[in-house]
Homo-oligomer: A and B are copies of this chain.
Amino acid sequence: MTEAELSALAIGALEGLGLSRADAERTAWVLVMGDLMGHATHGVLRLESYGDRIRRGAIDPRARPSVERVAPALARVDGRGAIGPLVGRVALDEAIAGARACGIGAAFVRNGNHFGAIGPYCWLAAQDGFATIIGSNASVTVAPTGGREERIGNNPLAIGVPHPGGDPVILDMAMSVAARGKIRAAAKKGQSIPDTWATDREGRPTTDPKAALEGFLMPFGGYKGYGLAVMVDLFAGVLAGSGYLTHVKSWLDEPDAPGNLGHFFIALDCARLGSAEWLADRVDDFAGILHATERADPAVAVRLPGESEMQKLARHRREGIEIDAEVLATLQRFAARG
Q: Which residues of A contact B (CB under 8 A)?
A: 70-74, 76, 98, 101-106, 108, 131, 133, 143-149, 151-152, 159, 161, 169, 171, 173, 177, 203, 220-225, 227-228, 230-231, 233-235, 237-241, 244-246, 266, 268-270, 272-274, 279, 282-283, 286, 289-290, 293-297, 300-305
Contact of A269 among B71, B105, B228 (CB under 8 A): B71
| A241 x B274 contact (CB < 8 A) | yes
| A146 x B303 contact (CB < 8 A) | yes
| A231 x B305 contact (CB < 8 A) | yes
* Given A230-B305, A238-B279, A286-B238, A294 contacting B102 (CB threshold 8 A): no
* Given A294-B149, A295-B147, A286 contacting B72 (CB threshold 8 A): no
Instruction: Give the copy number.
Output: 2
In this complex, the member of A104, A152, A282 whose beta carbon has the largest number of chain B beta carbons within 10 angstroms is: A104
Contact of A283 among B74, B76, B152, B238 (CB under 8 A): B238
A295 to B241, CA, bound (A): 28
Q: In the complex, which residues of chain B have a beta carbon less than 8 angstroms from the beta carbon of A159?
A: 228, 231, 235
| B286 x A245 contact (CB < 8 A) | yes
A240 to B101, CA, bound (A): 20
| A293 x B227 contact (CB < 8 A) | no
A108 to B103, CA, bound (A): 12
